[in-house]
Homo-oligomer: A and B are copies of this chain.
């Protein structure tokens, strides 16, 4: 077996692993409307061995960053914090991190978001009370 063939075999073992298939290959192949084989080939060509080995770890941490951005959008924090400045950056950050923790502990995104919106409303009410008493 030449070195190219060996490399290909090692790549295959990583990509065929349970965690890879479950978290990356199967969901993305559905999103991209392609077969699992086709997507595996794309990843083989896109990434070198180092990339492949570390990829699953980076996927998990990128997921948290994605969640953070998605919550910012779904809670309309770019409006409440960025434009109106009625929710402080610190409160916004704390709320988002709390929701991410709940999702990582098994709560669905939709349920965690729903609760997060109720907490956001409490923050808005608190700020409204503070401002009306000034």
Contacts and interface: CB of A to CB of B under 8 A. Distances in A.
In the complex this chain forms, how many copies of it are found?
A: 2
Contacts of A72: 66, 69
Contacts of A61: 83
A69 B66 CA distance: 9
Nearest to A59: B79
A34 interface: yes
A95 B83 CA distance: 25
Interface string A45-59: 111000100010011
A49 to B, nearest CB: 13
Interface residues of A, number: 44
Interface string A90-122: 000000000000000000000000000110110
Contacts of A32: 117-118, 120-121, 124
Contacts of A86: 46-47
Interface of A: 31-34, 41-47, 51, 55, 58-59, 61-63, 65-67, 69-70, 72-74, 76, 78-79, 82-84, 86, 117-118, 120-121, 124-125, 127-129, 131-132
